[in-house]
Structures are given as structure tokens and as C-alpha cells.
A and B are shown apart, each in its own frame.
Chain A
Amino acid sequence: MDFTRRSALATVGVAGLGALAGCLGGTSGSGDGGGANGTPIGDHPAGAGLDSQPALGPADAGATVVAFEDPSCPTCRNFERNAGERLRSGPVADGDLRFVSRVYPIIYPWGKPAVQALEAVYAREGGEEAYWALFDHYFAEQGAFDTDTVLDRTESFLAANTDLDASGVVADAEAEAYDDAVQTDLDAGSAAGADRTPTLFLFRDGTYVTRASGNVSYETIASALRL
């Protein structure tokens, strides 16, 4: 084999650059879960059962973010602190964006009872406002929760800050009374190819634009959705 210096350098270069792919094409958010660019939101896996999901902002907003998040996920907490709050106080409040929350408990064990509680809250009459309050509470106090304390703390929070039957919510969460709603979100996320949290599916004028994973910035989402 004629192995020159140039070919050796090329080999090293190709090997190095190939290695740089790291997780590229693996678990790096490269799959689309069947949602090609331009897919109507109703046909996209992430949009399955969207009308029954907790959402902020007008249904006819020009842009939609469908966010798969886990209350126990530190990256989700960072995303909420950085971009989530800005999205909801800005474009959502202005009527330009609809922010849809879908639970995706795949990180720490206490996330599972937490999302059962979230779905139990949302299922109650007038529970939507309490859903977002509890949602914010989980991220704000994330370090204080574990599997032993999450439902006790949830009950205390709901009793102190909402008009809901806090003990009833916790009883439903323990019995997984609304597990169908959790499974709907898990199935939707899985079908859409959400392999990490947070994973955000972005739609503009009712059609799929792209997806973003991790603690992406407000500027990233605003630029992608032309907000």
C-alpha cells in the first residue's frame, strides 16, 4: 500500500472529525419520530391529543411549543428558569405563542409520582391554574423532593396555595388514577422521538418546524419561531 504522509494526515483528520460526531446520529436528537418539516401539528406524533393538554396562550397563536419535561430533571429546571419563564411572560402573554406542557418522567424516580399529581390536579375542575402553579413549584424547589417526600410536599403546597382537595389529589396520585394521561404523553414523546428532557417541538402556523433538546435559550426558540 502506498501510504504517504498526505494520506496519513488525511486518515488522522478523517478519524478525528469522524470522532467529533460523538453521539451524532445516536441519541442526539437527530431522529424526527415521523415528523418531517411541514407536518401539520395534528398529524405530528408530539401533537397527539394536544387539545387535552395543559396549555398557556391562545389556541390560534401563530406559534406553538410542545414541551416534554420531567419535574425531576435539572436541565428542565434550568430551561424553565432561562427560556420557559421568558416565553410565558413574553410571547405567550402577548398572544403570539401557545406553550403546551406534556409530562415525560424519565429522569429521577420522584418524577413519576410528581407527574401523577400534576395530571390529577389538571383533571380537576378549575385545575389548570393549579397545574401551572404546581409545575413551577416542582422546578423552583427541585432539590427538596425525593420519592419519600414528593407527595407530602405536594399536598402541603396544594393545601396552602390552591382551593383544590389536596389530600384527594395525593390519593389519586398514589393510586395512579390518571395514569392514562401520563401514558398518553409518554407514548406521544416516544413516537415523536423525544429521547431526553426537555425536548421541545416547535410549530409555526400549524406546521412542524423543528425540535430542540436541552437547556436551549429563549433566543434559539424565538429565532426558530420568528417571535
Chain B
Amino acid sequence: MSGANRLTRARRRLGLPRLPSSRRDLRLVARTVRLVLGVPAYGALAVVVSVLALSGFVLSQNVALVRDTVIGGSLPLDARLTILVEQYPFVGTVYEPLPGAMLVVIALLTGANVAVVAYHLRENGILGGDERDGAGAGGTSAGGSVGGAVGVFLGALGAGCAACGSAVLVGVFSLVGASGVVLFLPFDGLEFTLLALVPLGLSLFWLADGMRGAEIRGCPVDI
């Protein structure tokens, strides 16, 4: 028996969800996301969540500034808006292009995750007790939903912390006398942002895997 087969058996014994292993799996994820976001309500939800996610990431880096000048304080409206938009990637100077792009990608993935989770729960009746015909709610459906929520949570948390960059990492590490640890992070904390892509990507796959056999807008998810 090959190593891959042994791993598969061990995973099944432990009840763990499977991992993407082929291009077909990636196509499944892409097709599922495309079909779900093609539904106007879910597309709008994804956009709203993505904007909220990005806002959460970037505004969390300067809470006091936003609180004292955008929300509170006595600045005129145009000054408040200027301060607000200047915190976002590609508008202000806070983020270099690559970290800024990564944050946008993670925000978009977060939006897609929430939209697919919402679709799965609502349209396939996973938790509503009225599972529909054709909804392939196999063993991975609920797991996919939970995995999706966990993935969104971990991904967002990881991205939020990664956005802090090396300066915060140094601050944290210096508390335990290990500020030199950042010397081993060649991309100044971007590594953490990249790590956040893993749970987000996996959660999308688990959701899509759980929706195999279902139809979205009359189209089969798995072809």
C-alpha cells in the first residue's frame, strides 16, 4: 500500500476532512464559488463581507487614530474621510504593494467563504431540517460548513495579525526577550498573511466538497 493510501486511511479513521489533491478539486472550488457568487444576493453578500473584512484588517492597525479623528473629535467631514480612506491599501501609504495585495486577496477570500457558507446553510438546508433533493449533504457538508466558519475565523485572525507587520511581532517577541526572531522573517511578517490563505482555501474546498452533487442555479456543482 502506498504512503498516500495509508494517509488516506488514517485520515478516514480519525474522521478528518480530506485535502485537495488534484486540479479537479481546484476546479470544483472555482466552479462552486463562481456559481454561488453569480447569485446576486450572495454576490452582494460577498462584496459586503469583503469590504468589512478589509476594513477590519486595516482599521485595526490604528484604532486610536480612527476612534479619535474619524469617529470622535471635531474634524470636518472631509478630513475624517481623508484619514479613513488613507488607511486602505493602494490609497494611502500604510501598505507596500505586495502586503496590500495580499490583504485584498484575503478579504476577497473571506467574502467568498461567508457567501458560500451562507448559500450552503440556506439553500441546502444543512441546519434547517429541510434538506432538499439533490443537495449532496454527505458527511462533509456540515463539516464543510463548520470548516468554512473555522477557516474564515482563522484566516481573518491570521491576516489581521499579519497586517501588523514585523514591528508588532518585534514588540511581542521582545516581551519574552526574543526580538531577534524577526531576523528570520525575510518578508517582515508577510509570511503570516500567506499562512492565512491556507485555512481560507481549505475551508472553501471543504464547503465545495460538501456540495458535490448539488445544483446551483440549475447547474451541477461537480462536472
Contacts and interface: CB of A to CB of B under 8 A. Distances in A.
Contacts of B172: 27
A22 B161 contact: yes
A213 B61 contact: yes
A107 B128 contact: no
B49 A16 contact: yes
A217 B92 CA distance: 6
Nearest to A8: B127
B86 A217 contact: yes
B36 interface: no
Nearest to B146: A12
Interface stretch (B4-12, B179-187, B213-221): B179-187
Contacts of B157: 19, 22
Interface size class of A (residues with CB under 8 A): 35 or more
B125 A5 contact: yes
Interface string A34-49: 0001000000000000
A74 B161 contact: no
Given A20-B56, A21-B160, A30-B63, A223 B69 contact: yes
Given A15-B149, A209-B69, A74 B118 contact: no
Nearest to B63: A30
A109 interface: yes
A212 B62 contact: yes
Contact of B153 (A5, A15, A29, A82): A15
A222 to B, nearest CB: 8
Nearest to B162: A22
Interface string A209-221: 1111111110110
A20 B52 contact: yes
Nearest to A220: B86
Contacts of B161: 22-23
Query: Which among A8, A9, A12 has the greatest number of chain B C-beta atoms within 10 A?
Result: A12
Interface string B113-145: 110011001100101100000000000000001
B53 A214 contact: no
Interface string A60-76: 00000000000001110
Nearest to A73: B167
Contacts of A126: none
B64 A217 contact: no
Query: Which among B122, B152, B155, B164 has the greatest number of chain A C-beta atoms within 10 A?
Result: B164
A16 B62 contact: no
Contact of B63 (A9, A24, A75, A78): A24
B89 to A, nearest CB: 11
A220 B180 CA distance: 31
Contacts of A224: 65, 69, 75, 79, 83
A195 B64 contact: no
B210 interface: no
Contacts of B166: 74-75, 107
- In the A-B complex, list the 4 residue pairs whose CB atoms are closest, starting with the nearest: A22-B160, A20-B56, A196-B167, A210-B68
14 contacts: A5-B127, A15-B152, A20-B52, A22-B57, A22-B159, A22-B163, A37-B73, A83-B93, A107-B166, A109-B180, A196-B164, A223-B75, A224-B79, A224-B83
Given A16-B156, A19-B154, A219-B92, 14 more contacts: A4-B128, A9-B118, A15-B152, A19-B156, A21-B160, A22-B57, A23-B60, A24-B63, A196-B165, A209-B73, A212-B62, A212-B65, A215-B95, A217-B93
